[in-house]
A and B are shown apart, each in its own frame.
Chain A
C-alpha cells in the first residue's frame, strides 16, 4: 500500500514565488531556467520557445498556419509540476505563473519509458521493411528513450491493409495520434478518416471500414505527410521505374515538378530552401533516364491554354454572353479536381478544362516528342517526379491514357526519388549542376512558381495581361498574390479592366471559397486552388516536414528566387512553347490542343460506392 499525501489547502498563490506582472505574461521555471511567456502558452510551447526539448508523439503543430493536433492522448510529453500529484501532459497544460517544472526528472523518464513501451507493445516489429523506417517518429522515440526490451506482452492489433492508387493504409501501425483525422477533417474538410471503435479495437478508418478507393478521399496525401509512423504511406512506384530503366527496348524519359527542386536537397542533409535543380537533373541522368525534362515546360504550356481560356471566357462575359461561367478555377491539382467532383458536382463546368502540367507533359511526350524521336508510344515510358501523392492517382485516371497506354506511366514522389538516388550510390553533393534536355526541358520563371500557392495565378496573370492588353508588363512580380494566408484576394489592373483574383490553399479554404461562389457572395474572375497547405511545396510526397512550418516558407522562397534568376519569366516567351505551337498544335485552344491538352470532369457524388 502506498500512502499519498495531498496538500489540498495549497492555493495557486502559495505557488507564486514570482511577483504578479501587470502585463499579459507569466513567469515560470522550467528545468531551473526562469522564463517569461505570454499567458495562455502551453508548457510545451513555453519550453520550445526557450530551447528546452520535451519529447512528443501525437502532438503536431505548424506554426503560423493554424494547424495543430493536440489530443493529449499519448502522454509522452508528461512533465513534473512541483506541487502536483500527477504528471502533466505538456502539450495541453497551460503554463501558470510561478510554476516550477522538471521536464526530465527520473519520475518523468520512468513514466515516458513505460508509455513508450506500452505503445510499442501493440506495434508490429517490421522496422526492417517498413516504408517509414528512418523517418518514423515512434522509432525515433524508442531510440531516444533507450527502449531495448518490451516488458508488456499481449494481443496485437490485426487489421486489413488497404491499398489505393496512391496511399496505403496499414492500420496495425496506427498509434491513434489522430493527426491524419485532424488534417482530413479540419484542414481539408474531406472527412474520410475518423477514429472508430473504442479501447483496444480503436483505429482510424474510412466509414464502414471500406477501402480508400471506395471513399471520397482526394489522395491529397496530407494524412501521409503528418503520420508519425508507417500507418499511412505512399504507393511505391520505384520498382516499376527500375524495371523500365533496365529494359533495353524502352526509352525512359522523366519530368520534374517545380516544387521538387526546392525540397529534394533536404533528403541529402541540405538546408531547407536549397535549390538543387542542376544536381537533380544530373542525378536523373546518372540514373539512366534517356531524356531529363521539366514539368515547368508543361506549366508554361498550361498557362498558354488556361490563360487563353480565361481571356476567352472573360471576353464573352464582357460581350454580354450569359452562358459563360466565371470565375474560372485552376485545374492543375488532381486532389482538388477529385474534391470538386465529389463535393461540388453541380460546379464541374466551372474549372478550366486545361489538363494539369503532369498530364499535358505526358500527352505531348507521347505524341509530339515520340513522333520527333520516331518512337512507338508503347516503347516510351514517361516518369514524373512529383511532390504529390494524388499525381499517382491522376496518371491512373482512364481519360489520361490511349488504348490502355497511359500518358504518364509512373509518378515518383520527391521522397522516392531521393531513395532511388541513394540506392544507386550516387553522391548527390558531388554532382555538377546540369541542364535539362530539349525540347521539353526549357521553362520560364512562370513555370517555376507553379509549385507554391499563388504561383499558378501569378504566372497566368503575367501572360494573360500581355495577351489581353498587347502591352509589356512594367513589373513582373505580383507581391499581392503571394503569401501564406489560407485565403487571399487581389485585384489586378488589366490596363483599365480590373481583374479580381482569389487564391486558396488547403481544401478547407477551397471549400469556403466555393461555398461563397455557390451562394453568389463571391465575384472573382479567376481563382487558384491548391489542395495542400502552402501549395505543392507542402505536398504529400515531399520530404517530411515533421511539424516545422519554417521548412515550407524556405521552399517557397527558393522557388521565387529561381524565378527571379531566370531570363525568361513569362510563359508565352518560352521559345520551345512557341515552337511547339508552330510545329504541332497550331494555336492555344485549337482543335488539336483541345484533343491533347484539355479534359472533362465527372460527377462522383454517388459513384464512389461501387455496385456489387
Chain B
C-alpha cells in the first residue's frame, strides 16, 4: 500500500478528535465517525494514527472500518450520492434509479467520478420510507425519485446549489 504523508491539518484533526473522546478505545466508532466527517474518508494512514492515539492495534481499527459500510477508505466526491435500497424504496423502483445514476455518471457503486464531483453509494433505510424511493445527496434528501429525475439532480449539483451549506 503506497504511503501518503498526512497533512498537518489531518494529523491535528485526528489528535483533537481522539483527545475529545479522552483517547477511550471504546469510542472508536464515534472517533472514526467524526474523523471521516472532517477529513472525508479514512485511508490507511489515518487509521494508523487513530490506532496510535487510542492505543489499540490498527488491525482492530481496520476491522471496524471494513465492517460498517458507512466508513470509506476512498475519497468521496464533492457530492456524495446515496440511493436507498431499503425494502420500501426497493419495491418502488430504487434499483432503476441507481442504474440511471450509474449510467449517467459512468461509475459503479462505491466509486468516485474521475472529476471528483460525484461518488455513488447504496445504503439501507434512511427512515423516510414515506418518500420512497429516496436519494440523498450530501445531507439533502430527495423523495419520490424516478429515473427521469436523475439528470435534474445531477445538474443541480453541478450548478453548485449544494455547495452553499
Contacts and interface: CB of A to CB of B under 8 A. Distances in A.
A198 B66 contact: yes
A210 B48 CA distance: 14
A185 B57 contact: yes
Interface string B46-75: 010000000011111111001110000000
B59 A207 contact: yes
A190 to B, nearest CB: 8
> Looking at chain B's contact residues, is the secondary structure mostly helix, strand, loop, or mixed?
helix
Contacts of B63: 194-196
Which of A194, A198, A612 has the largest count of B CB atoms less than 10 A from its CB? A194
Contacts of B2: 612
Interface string A185-203: 1000011111111100000
Secondary structure of the A side of the interface?
loop
B4 interface: no
A191 B25 CA distance: 14
Contact of A193 (B47, B59, B66, B67): B59
Contacts of B60: 185, 191, 194
A357 B131 CA distance: 72
B1 interface: yes
Contacts of B62: 194, 196, 207-208
Given A208-B1, A210-B1, A611-B3, A191 B59 contact: yes
Contacts of A207: 44, 47, 57-59, 61-62
A191 B62 CA distance: 11
Interface residues of A, number: 18
A196 B62 CA distance: 7
A609 interface: yes
A500 B25 CA distance: 35
Given A207-B58, A208-B44, A609 B3 contact: yes
B84 to A, nearest CB: 19
A205 B57 CA distance: 12
Contacts of A611: 3
B43 to A, nearest CB: 10
A228 interface: no
B57 A191 contact: yes
Interface string A584-612: 00000000000000000000000001011
Nearest to A210: B1
B55 to A, nearest CB: 10
Interface in A200-235: 205-208, 210
The CB with the most chain A CB atoms within 10 A, among B3, B44, B57, is that of B57
B123 to A, nearest CB: 14
A235 to B, nearest CB: 22
A151 B59 CA distance: 35
Interface centre among B47, B59, B63, B67 (most CB of A within 10 A): B59
A196 B57 contact: no
Contacts of A191: 56-60
Contact of A197 (B1, B3, B61, B67): B67
Nearest to A185: B57
Contacts of A190: 57
Contacts of B44: 207-208
Contacts of A196: 62-63, 66-67
Interface in B1-47: 1-3, 44, 47
Contacts of A205: 59
Residue in B1, B2, B44, B56 whose Cβ sees the most chain A Cβ within 10 Å: B1
Nearest to A193: B59
A207 B44 CA distance: 9
Nearest to B65: A196
Nearest to B68: A198
Contact of B57 (A194, A198, A208): A194
A192 B62 CA distance: 11
Contacts of A609: 1, 3
Contacts of A192: 57, 59
A532 B62 CA distance: 26
Interface of A: 185, 190-198, 205-208, 210, 609, 611-612
8 contacts: A185-B59, A194-B57, A194-B59, A196-B62, A196-B63, A197-B67, A198-B67, A611-B3
